Amino acid sequence: MTTPDDLPDHVRRNREAWDEWAVDYVDNGERSWRLAPGAEKWGNWNIPEAEVHMLPADLAGKDTIELGCGTAYVSAWLARRGARPVGIDNSEKQLATARRLQAEHGLDFPLLHGNAEIVPYPDASFDLAISEYGASIWADPYRWIPEAARLLRPAGRLIFLVNATPCSGPIAGFIDSSGRATNRSTSISGTATGSGCCGPMDSTSRT
């Protein structure tokens, strides 16, 4: 495991901050872990998955990685849909909550304490990479997005949710394994346009 002295400054500072803030995210983690397939809710506005269709329809047998998993409820959602998830997070205290909830809900999948900009898996290990307010807003986009592309298999997909200034709320982005933004960019605040969100995603993906 990388020691704090070896980490880039922004990663080290985020690790310290999220270890301090982790207690504030326990309740949301517990609520989100209880959501059954089809009842998942995204972002600060709790937009139903049934409305935005963020997740691929068929996840059975797919290898997935959640980049900045926090309490790992998204990975739990993926597992219940038949995927084989892996979660990585910069905060050991967030992962402690995730491990407790794994035990309580009877789900077991790998949880790594690490930096989503450098993931200890070989190239082309996953079919799907996902980040809901994780690496997508705390990691360096010029590092974590190329790292996600490295991890994805051909035809793999990166899905991420961020706060973005062209939009007045969170957006969901979809980028394929070649680094191209797809036309499935989705505003989940109900106020942003697709064209307003595609630009930042496309420019960020070309790294």
Q: What is the DSSP letter of 5?
A: G
- CA–CA separation, 35 and 15 (whole Å): 27
The CATH number covering residue 43 comes to: 3.40.50.150
pLDDT (tens digit per residue) in 51-89 = 999 999 999 999 999 999 999 999 999 999 999 999 999
pLDDT (tens digit per residue) in 126-175 = 999 999 999 998 899 999 999 999 999 999 999 999 876 544 444 445 55
pTM for this one? 0.80
User: What is the span of the domain harbouring residue 180?
Assistant: 4-205
The answer to whether residues 128 and 64 touch, using CB atoms and an 8 Å cutoff, is yes
Place of tokens 């942003």: 192
The answer to whether residues 180 and 207 touch, using CB atoms and an 8 Å cutoff, is no
- CA–CA separation, 63 and 110 (whole Å): 12
Q: What share of the chain in percent tops pLDDT 90? A: 64
How many structural domains are present in the chain? 1
* Structure tokens given for 178: 């070649």
